[in-house]
Structure 1
């Protein structure tokens, strides 16, 4: 395969990947959407203290894909359809509930917090090599076994939890 053909193929793959990444960039600029559950009306109607619930929902942000890598003896790049890295996060949750005293009219609280945590992923990819050998000067390509591989997705995160209890609401 001529170097101009390889360069054209690499430019097409890179252009498509960049277009996909640019289309999702404005939505990802926000980062996270805060979420709160308004229970004030229910507290007033029931005449009691209700838990406070809130959290945040992170938005995924695609990154730059891997560049195609050419290997000698292959017609297609090593990763024909590259894996696209997507960074985002797991949603966070905050729950704080009143805990009534058994002997008097006071309140304490108990709370559970699951902070939003970062998630780094790679989408599945594809490696393909057609059933022809790369042409060499003065020789025609010959037949060989075709190669096809699905590149597995990857997921990395470290979630955590906070449990609190204390006096007061």
Structure 2
């Protein structure tokens, strides 16, 4: 048995939404998933010795100036008259499709419903996040490359006036 991407996403959603669960270890065959909520008490168990060396590969992200009014502090409520774009899962927030590409959006960008506005990466799988309404990007609340939580507000859209 193997875990699909959807299985991993569901496991991470369970951890994210469970109030009394701080960490989770899942082993299916040779696949191991060790997840812990940010700020969880205690330490993760140390994995058994591996027969081969495993290296973490971090994407090289050159410093590119993206005019973002980022605060990296979760916004609890959506300001009146604005529409929230939320992270669909726990992961890493990216404003660009790749390090050498321009940002999907920036404050002031006009978007249509269904336009991709950012990516959330989970275990090297990149998930597109779409605008749910047409309008103008009012604020981006997360810096590129920063972690996000499930359902966290990542940007705000001022809806287009109909008529």
Alignment TM-score, normalising by the size of structure 1:
0.22
- Greater strand fraction, Structure 1 or Structure 2: 1
**Structure of higher RCO (CA pairs closer than 8 Å, 6+ residues apart):** 2
Is the radius of gyration larger for structure 1 or structure 2?
Answer: 1
- Greater helix fraction, Structure 1 or Structure 2: 1
